[in-house]
Amino acid sequence: MSKAKIKTPGLVESGSPLKPDSNIVWSSGKNWNGLIVEQHKFAALPVPDFKKKDHSLTIRFSALPAGKNKGKNPDPIDRFANICFFSMDSAPHFSCGHHQHEVFVLKLLPETLKRVARELRSNLNIELVEHHQLRDAQIEHIGMALKTEAEDGFLSGRLYGESLGTALTVHLLSKYSVIKAQISLHKGGLTPANLRRVIEFIHENLTEDIGLSNLAKVANLSQFRFAHNFKQATGLAPHQYVIHERLERAKKMLRETDLTVTTVAYAVGCGSPSRFTLLFRRAYGVIPSVYRTSFR
């Protein structure tokens, strides 16, 4: 694959260096295994596109010039008007914009790509083709979901980000690889016995930060196929099921014990009282203390 620079319409080439991490607003760090997401904010200055050790997607948040589109409600999809995909070890280049803008960066670690390719029984040496000025509704949807989750303080837990990361990797392998991966989704695969084991594992480990790999291993399935088949079997995505079970246990504790809300929050694996309160209110419309009062 050619490593020649690709000039992006609306951007200007520049040789001015800028530290790669100097404009990071936030980063997911180690919250999600195999996937890192970051938000960068730049003024009208040279923006670096430095050599990467990971496969990366950059999503540029468009900022319409003053007066443009006045009086109209912008289509949310317009905020993702510029998606670029860079394969690992792509040649470095620099570009700059004419207006202040934000860039959302999704980094897929090499081991994630290899794992998913292996799960799909695809060529392990599969090569992803670089794209610039890309429009892809599924990438935009996953990007928005990851951004929202990070800005909400990773409210839905490790399972959510890892499931989205796996879905994104499958999409890239099936659509943007030199040798496109063939995906065969079929019903079944998660036997009743395996489903029971998974549910028992969840109930026994609600206080832990359960990962997608943990559940897939119990089910004896790949992570991608487990996430798909679990939702078929239960009607809920794995992260939704775990959150539901945590909150149901919390409701029982609030009704039947005098434990503090903080103690209950940690006892059901919500990580912090504030996260617990947000999840509880989102699910039931009231905060935990109000719910408890209604039973006293």
109 or 82, which is more confident:
109
Return the exposure string of 42-52: e unless at least 16 CB atoms fall within 10 Å of the residue's CB, then b: beeebbbbeeb
pLDDT mean over 19-25: 62
Crossing angle for the helix pair 223-234 and 110-119, nearest 10 degrees?
A: 60
pLDDT at position 248: 97
State the average pLDDT for the chain: 78
- Give the residue with greater pLDDT, 184 vs 30: 30
Distance CA 133, CA 172 (A): 16
What is the rounded distance in angstroms from the CA atom of residue 147 to the CA atom of residue 154?
10
Task: Please give the residue that has the higher pLDDT: either 206 or 82.
Answer: 206
Query: Does the structure show a pLDDT above 90 at 293?
Result: yes
pLDDT at 103 over 50: yes
Packing angle of the helix pair 192-204, 212-219 (nearest 10 deg): 140
Please name the residue that has the structure tokens 């504790």: 253
Q: What is the pLDDT of residue 1?
A: 37
pLDDT at 194: 95
Cα–Cα distance for residue pair 57/87, rounded to 1 Å: 9
pLDDT computed for residue 196 by the predictor: 97
pTM: 0.78
pLDDT at 180 over 50: yes
- Residues 193-198: what's their mean pLDDT? 96
Name which of 29-33, 244-248, 261-265 the model is least confident about. Answer: 29-33
Please check the confidence at residue 258 and state whether its pLDDT lies above 60: yes
Q: Using CA atoms in the order 281, 283, 285, 286, what is the torsion angle rounded to 10 degrees? A: -40
- Any idea which of 97-106, 143-152, 280-289 has the lowest mean pLDDT? 97-106
Alpha carbons within 13 angstroms on the beta-carbon side of residue 75 total 6
Mean pLDDT to the nearest integer, 34-44: 81
Q: How confident is the model at residue 181 (pLDDT cuts 50, 70, 90)?
A: low
Per-residue model confidence (pLDDT) at position 57: 80
d(CA 256, CA 177): 55
Q: Is the pLDDT of residue 55 over 90?
A: no
pLDDT tens column, 64-99? 444 444 445 544 444 444 677 666 655 444 344 445
- 24 falls in which pLDDT band (50, 70, 90)? confident
Q: What is the pLDDT of residue 218?
A: 97
Mean per-residue pLDDT for 51-60?
70
Residues 152, 171 contacting (CB under 8 angstroms): no
Report residue 15's pLDDT band, with 50, 70 and 90 as the boundaries: very low
For residue 81, the model assigns a pLDDT of 44
Q: What's residue 118's pLDDT?
A: 84
Does the pLDDT at position 206 exceed 90?
yes
Q: Say if residue 228's pLDDT is above 50.
A: yes
12 compared with 38, residue with greater pLDDT? 38
Cβ(176)–Cβ(129) under 8 Å?
Answer: yes
**Whole-number Å distance between alpha carbons of 57 and 131:** 9
The dihedral sign for the CA sequence 174, 102, 88, 130? positive
Mean pLDDT (whole number) for 117-139: 77
